[in-house]
Amino acid sequence: MKSDFDLSAWPPPSLFSRRHFLRLGARLAGALALLPWVPGAAWAAALEAVFKERTVADVLKGLGDDIQSSDQITIVTPEIAENGAVVPVTVKSALPSTTEIYLVVEKNPNPLAAAFIIPDQTEPSISARVKVAQSSNLIAVVKADGKLYSATRETKVTLGGCGG
């Protein structure tokens, strides 16, 4: 079995200089100081704090200021999910030079659910499944050509069952 977990290739080197990364980096100087030469690990360490944020506003602030809404981002989720434990989501970006995709669930205790880095040769389209604690907006944040964009779609989740 291939046991290594080689982070050295994360993320593409171009990401290093991006504004929001520096912003995160500044807030987490300690983490960066420990791992100054592994960009993937630093990105992960910086995001760790954003994953802990409790409100959408703080999550978005953590990802970077100046996020513009864009109709070039498509979010596909069922209008109504039978159970919030598994809600399928596809985020597709038509924005040129898309490098990152973030999934944010507005009403979850920790809204940031997942972050993806999209290398050059990979389509800016990701499907995943997330937990949605209650009917809520799903927000896709996309980084394209160094700038952040977002789109929002509501999904309903239902209660069910015969007993406990």
Q: Counting contacts by CB under 8 A, is residue 71 touching other proteins?
A: no
Query: What is the rounded CA–CA span in Å between residue 84 and residue 69?
Result: 26
Contact indicator for 159, 79 with CB cutoff of 8 Å:
no
Q: Which is nearer to other proteins, 9 or 57 (CB)?
A: 9
Least distance CB 86 / other proteins (angstroms): 4
Query: What is the rounded CA–CA span in Å between residue 135 and residue 41?
Result: 33
Contact indicator for 39, 16 with CB cutoff of 8 Å:
yes
Contact indicator for 46, 62 with CB cutoff of 8 Å:
no
Quick note: the x/- pattern for other proteins over 139-158, rule CB under 8 A, is: -------------------x
Q: Which stretch binds other proteins (CB under 8 A): 20-28, 29-37, 119-127, 142-150?
A: 119-127
Query: What is the rounded CA–CA span in Å between residue 47 and residue 100?
Result: 13
Q: Counting contacts by CB under 8 A, is residue 131 touching other proteins?
A: yes
Contact set with other proteins (CB under 8 A)? 1-7, 9-11, 40, 43-44, 47, 51, 76-83, 85-88, 90, 105, 108-110, 112-119, 121-123, 125-131, 158-164
